[in-house]
Amino acid sequence: MEINELPKLHSDFSVDCVIFGFDKGELKILLIERAEEPFKNFMALPGNFVYDNEDIDGAAGRILRELTSLSDIYLEQLYTFGEVNRHPQGRIITVAYFALIKVKKHILNPQVAFARKAEWYSVADVPALAFDHSKIFEKAYKRLQSKIRYQPIGFELLPEKFTLSQLQQLYEVILEKPIDKRNFRKKILSFGLLVELDEKQKNVSHRAAKLYKFNKSRYNNLKKMGFSFEL
Amino acid sequence: MEINELPKLHSDFSVDCVIFGFDKGELKILLIERAEEPFKNFMALPGNFVYDNEDIDGAAGRILRELTSLSDIYLEQLYTFGEVNRHPQGRIITVAYFALIKVKKHILNPQVAFARKAEWYSVADVPALAFDHSKIFEKAYKRLQSKIRYQPIGFELLPEKFTLSQLQQLYEVILEKPIDKRNFRKKILSFGLLVELDEKQKNVSHRAAKLYKFNKSRYNNLKKMGFSFEL
């Protein structure tokens, strides 16, 4: 079917989700493969129309649940894209969301007819996406790079227990630059937000490193008192 | 007319603008008085529906131009509000924008039928607003308080030429706390972003202070090289 033969929809709105994960030292995003026109066979951000009786935040949560079976995911609104010609089927604006998940958790196949499968892509290898989704992805990536410096959101991408090397690697990969190990450790430990566990890595070939946990409730308390996280 | 007698609109979207100004030591926002139901006689954020052939950013710019006759205003998208029951006339989501203007510039009367007049309100005296506009205003105020610390947007609210005392007062009013004068001056001057003019205040009863200008092109160059503004 040609694009100009598609039925025109009336003025409407959708949500699209940029879902980041961190796996084997790489930053990834979760994409779906479209099984229908427009943009058949293209990869796209997971998204859908918003039901009449559904809040937009609720629609974003639903799309994440349909893909991941998880409901306790870090999710925030990113930006609304509303250029006149952004969608070939009519005047459709989309509210983009930004999500951070721990990739080891189970990803289901998409539960919507227009999506053939879901797949993780390294952010370095993201292909040209359907609609204006490449632009949305770029905006989300910039938001992540900027926000990770002044809010402790990076922990949402790590396993619950992590080493300081894993944490540093996460920052290096997202900020796309090497970080001095000694300064990084000194600074991150100075906040008092990491709990040193009485536990070490298992099944590693090198010397097992200490594991840490992020103390979220302490961060929330400090924040109320005017504390600023800054790396 | 009772609210439940109003005609139902179909699913649609609007833009609303939170317009901040700074005048006589007070932070203000520009509100309109509604001349029609729903929320007749309530104050509201300036806003309107988006035309079919208009980008959402374009709609926000149009609303500002209609109210202020200015087109070079600092404007950014704030957040999209899309709860199911936020509007009594149907499923209408609104994309909120955040604007900063120099209040001495001319404000026109609103050019839309549903607005009786436009007026500046001190943020401390904002009345209960129409729709969910109080919530939108709160979000915008928090964004301003947070963003002014890491981006030099405060200058958009000052006259082109200002004294260091005016700049400090702006920060004190927005952040709602006193600031140490010596540290503030040292820090703000250390960035090299202010141009000291060969000119002083006029018509003041106290000793006239030096005037400064913000060097925006220098900031843009520094930013490209990785400089972070932080106060």
From A68, A75, A86, select the one nearest A130 (Cα to Cα): A86
Angle between helices A164-175 and A133-147 (to 10 degrees): 130
CATH number 1.10.10.10 given to A156-224: yes
pLDDT at B109 over 80: no
Query: Residue A152 in 3-state DSSP?
Result: coil
Instruction: Please give the average per-residue pLDDT across A66-71, as a whole number.
Output: 79
- Please report residues of A whose CB lies closer than 8 A to that of B13: 11, 13, 82, 93
CB A67 within 8 A of CB A108: yes
- Closest-CA distance, A96 to chain B, in angstroms, reads 10
Mutation target among A84, A92, A98, A148 for the B interface, most CBs of B within 10 A: A84
> What is the residue whose two structure tokens read 């980041």?
A20
CATH number 1.10.10.10 given to B154-224: yes
| Model pLDDT, residue B1 | 42
Peptide bond into B38 cis (omega under 30): yes
Report the DSSP beta bridge partners of residue B32: B44, B118
pLDDT at A3 over 50: no
Higher pLDDT, B18 or A109: B18
Strand residues in A60-193 grouped as ranges (E): 74-81, 92-100, 115-122
Q: Is B224 left (phi over 0), alpha (psi -120 to 50) or beta?
A: alpha
- Closest-CA distance, A21 to chain B, in angstroms, reads 24
pLDDT at A178 over 70: yes
CATH of span A3-147: 3.90.79.10
> What is the residue whose two structure tokens read 């092109």?
B217
> What is the residue whose two structure tokens read 């109003």?
B6
Residue-range domain boundaries for chain A:
3-147, 156-224
Secondary structure tally for chain A: helices H, strands E: 5, 9
Separation CA A138–CA B164 (nearest Å)? 38
- Please report residues of B whose CB lies closer than 8 A to that of A54: 84
CB A89 within 8 A of CB A8: yes
Instruction: Please give the average per-residue pLDDT across A62-89, as a whole number.
Output: 89
Which amino acid is located at A192 in the chain?
G
pLDDT tens track for B7-64: 554 558 999 999 999 998 999 999 999 999 999 999 999 999 898 889 999 999 999 8
Supply φ then ψ for residue B127, to 5 degrees: -75, 175
| Model pLDDT, residue B128 | 97
Q: Do domains B3-147 and B154-224 have the same CATH topology?
A: no
Task: Nearest chain B residue to A147 by CA: give it.
Answer: B150
pLDDT at A1 over 50: no
> In this predicted complex, what is the ipTM?
0.87
pLDDT tens track for B156-201: 999 999 999 999 999 999 999 999 999 999 999 999 999 999 999 8
Q: What percent of chain A has pLDDT over 90?
A: 68
Instruction: Please state, rounded to an integer, the average pLDDT across all residues of chain B.
Output: 90
Separation CA A46–CA B177 (nearest Å)? 44
Mutation target among B57, B76, B77, B84 for the A interface, most CBs of A within 10 A: B84
